């Protein structure tokens, strides 16, 4: 029996077995590494995708169109319950500085020809959908504004924000700690047209970008 283990054929068989085992281990290890690398690449892709679609500055504005229209409908309905003469004069979006989707609150401001003193405000939470109605003196909030002609309301708040980002807003955010961004839709100068005012609030200062709500063009301070 011992003679068999000393024969060349046994040595050859043993060597071949060791070679096969080594090749198999190499292939198995390589496959494991490839699978791990593939998994890591997929996880990175998912993370990058999540990072790209992370806030209001980089989503498709149209994705929030339906929700925004539904919210306006709710505000209109609640205003009509208080006074059927109420008409929309302003919209104010108050969004935390992170600009995350479905955060902040929206104030829909209405006035009535039968009330020269007060505005009605319907405040709706973007996160919960809950609302609060209140009557506020004009001199305390928004003043006495013209009624919004909704035919000129063509740019939603997400589009307005993204336009503002490309026109100094992003540079401002990169240079300061923005606590909140307030977007206000109202008729104003110049020309008394309908505009979005995008206000970035930093510590002790702010930046404002004015945008035509009909066509998205920037209104320069000197206009």
What pLDDT digit, counting tens, does each position of 157-167 carry?
999 999 999 99
pLDDT at 223 over 50: no
Q: What six digits make up the tokens of 49?
A: 């995708």
Same-domain pairing of 75 and 31: no
Same-domain pairing of 110 and 190: yes
HEC letters along 53-104: CCCCCCCCHHHHHHHHHHHHHHHHHHHHHHCCCCEEEEEEEEEECCCCCCCC
Same-domain pairing of 46 and 156: no
Phi, psi of 144, rounded to the nearest 5 degrees: -110, 90
Same-domain pairing of 97 and 19: no
Same-domain pairing of 101 and 37: no
What pLDDT digit, counting tens, does each position of 45-83 carry?
555 544 455 799 999 999 999 999 999 999 999 999 999
What share of the chain in percent tops pLDDT 90? 73
Same-domain pairing of 13 and 65: no
What share of the chain in percent tops pLDDT 70? 85
Collapsed DSSP state (helix, strand, coil) of residue 171 = helix
Same-domain pairing of 112 and 202: yes
Q: How far apart are CA 88 and CA 162, in angstroms?
A: 24
Q: How far apart are CA 57 and CA 170, in angstroms?
A: 9
Domain that holds residue 16: 2-52
Domain count, the chain: 2
What pLDDT digit, counting tens, does each position of 187-199 carry?
999 999 999 999 9
Same-domain pairing of 32 and 110: no
Residue 213 confidence class, pLDDT cut points 50, 70, 90: very high
Same-domain pairing of 45 and 112: no
Same-domain pairing of 11 and 83: no
The DSSP element (H or E) to which 26 belongs, if any, is helix 8-52
Task: Return mean pLDDT, the chain.
Answer: 88
């Amino acid at each position: 029996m011992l003679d068999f283990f000393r024969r060349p054929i046994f040595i050859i068989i043993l060597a071949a077995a060791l070679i096969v085992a080594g090749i198999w281990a190499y292939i198995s290890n390589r496959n494991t590494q490839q699978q791990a690398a593939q998994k890591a690449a997929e996880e990175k892709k998912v993370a990058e995708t999540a990072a790209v679609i992370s806030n209001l500055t980089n989503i498709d504005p149209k994705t929030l169109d339906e929700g925004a229209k539904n919210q306006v409908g709710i505000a209109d309905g609640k205003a009509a319950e208080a006074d059927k003469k109420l008409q929309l004069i302003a919209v104010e979006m108050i969004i935390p500085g992170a600009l995350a989707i479905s955060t902040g609150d929206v104030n829909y401001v209405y006035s009535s020809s039968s009330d020269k003193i007060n505005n009605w405000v319907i405040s709706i939470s973007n996160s919960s959908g809950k609302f609060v109605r209140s009557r506020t003196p004009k001199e305390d909030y928004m003043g006495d504004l013209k009624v919004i002609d909704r035919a000129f309301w063509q740019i939603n708040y997400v589009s307005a924000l993204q336009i503002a980002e490309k026109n100094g807003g992003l540079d401002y955010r990169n240079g300061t700690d923005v606590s909140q961004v307030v977007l206000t839709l109202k008729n104003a100068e110049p020309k008394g047209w309908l505009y979005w005012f995008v206000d970035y609030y930093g510590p002790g200062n702010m930046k404002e970008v004015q945008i035509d709500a009909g066509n998205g063009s920037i209104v320069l301070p000197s206009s």
